[in-house]
Amino acid sequence: MKDSLRQQLERLTHRLSELDASLADSQVGADIKRYRALSREQAEVAQVVGLFRQYGLRESDLAAAREMQDDDEMAEMAREEIAAAEADLVRLLGELQSALLPRDPDDARPAFLEIRAGTGGDESALFAGDLARMYLRFCERRGWRTEVMSESPAELGGYKELVLRIEGEQAYGTLRFESGGHRVQRVPATESQGRIHTSACTVAVMPEPDEAAEVTLNPAELRIDTFRASGAGGQHVNKTDSAIRITHLPTGLVAECQDDRSQHRNKAKAMAVLAARLREKERSERAAKEAATRKGLIGSGDRSDRIRTYNFPQGRLTDHRINLTLYKLGQVMDGDLDDVVAALQAARASEQLAALDGSAA
Task: Say whether 163 sits in a helix, a strand or coil.
Answer: strand
CA distance 229 to 148: 15
Q: Are residues 44 and 117 in the same domain?
A: no
At which of 76, 99, 122 does a domain end?
99
At which of 44, 72, 99 does a domain end?
99
Please tell me what DSSP assigns to residue 109.
S
Q: What is the pLDDT of residues 118-134, one digit of tens each?
A: 887 889 999 999 999 99
* CA torsion through residues 124, 125, 127, 132, sign: positive
Asked whether residue 235 is domain-assigned, the answer is yes
Q: Are residues 279 and 330 in the same domain?
A: yes
Q: Are residues 79 and 116 in the same domain?
A: no
* Integer angstrom CA distances of residue 297 from 81, 294, 345, 348: 40, 9, 11, 7
Q: What is the CATH number of the domain that holds 91?
A: 1.20.58
Instruction: Look up the pTM and report it.
Output: 0.64
The larger pLDDT score, comparing residue 31 to residue 309, is at: 309
Q: Are residues 119 and 266 in the same domain?
A: yes
Q: What is the pLDDT of residues 293-333, one digit of tens each?
A: 334 434 444 444 689 999 999 999 999 999 999 999 999 99
Q: Are residues 148 and 266 in the same domain?
A: yes
- By residue range, what is the domain housing residue 35? 3-99
At which of 45, 66, 99 does a domain end?
99
Q: What is the pLDDT of residues 49-80, one digit of tens each?
A: 999 999 999 999 999 989 888 887 888 898 89
Taking Cα atoms as reference points, which of 120, 207, 111 lies closest to residue 160? 120
Taking Cα atoms as reference points, which of 205, 214, 211 lies closest to residue 275? 214
Q: Are residues 89 and 128 in the same domain?
A: no
Query: What are the beta bridge partners of residue 150?
Result: 163
Task: Say whether 334 sits in a helix, a strand or coil.
Answer: coil
Q: What is the CATH number of the domain that holds 148?
A: 3.30.70.1660
Angle, CA 67 vertex, CA 64 and CA 69 arms, to 5°: 115
Task: Say whether 202 sits in a helix, a strand or coil.
Answer: strand
CA distance 65 to 73: 13
Q: Are residues 215 and 245 in the same domain?
A: yes
CA distance 163 to 208: 12
Q: Are residues 192 and 280 in the same domain?
A: yes
CA distance 206 to 250: 20
Q: What is the pLDDT of residues 232-250, one digit of tens each?
A: 444 444 456 678 888 888 8
Question: Domain count of the chain?
Answer: 2
Residue 19 contacts residue 41 (beta carbons within 8 Å): yes
Q: Are residues 191 and 279 in the same domain?
A: yes
Asked whether residue 64 is domain-assigned, the answer is yes
Q: Are residues 56 and 191 in the same domain?
A: no
Asked whether residue 355 is domain-assigned, the answer is no
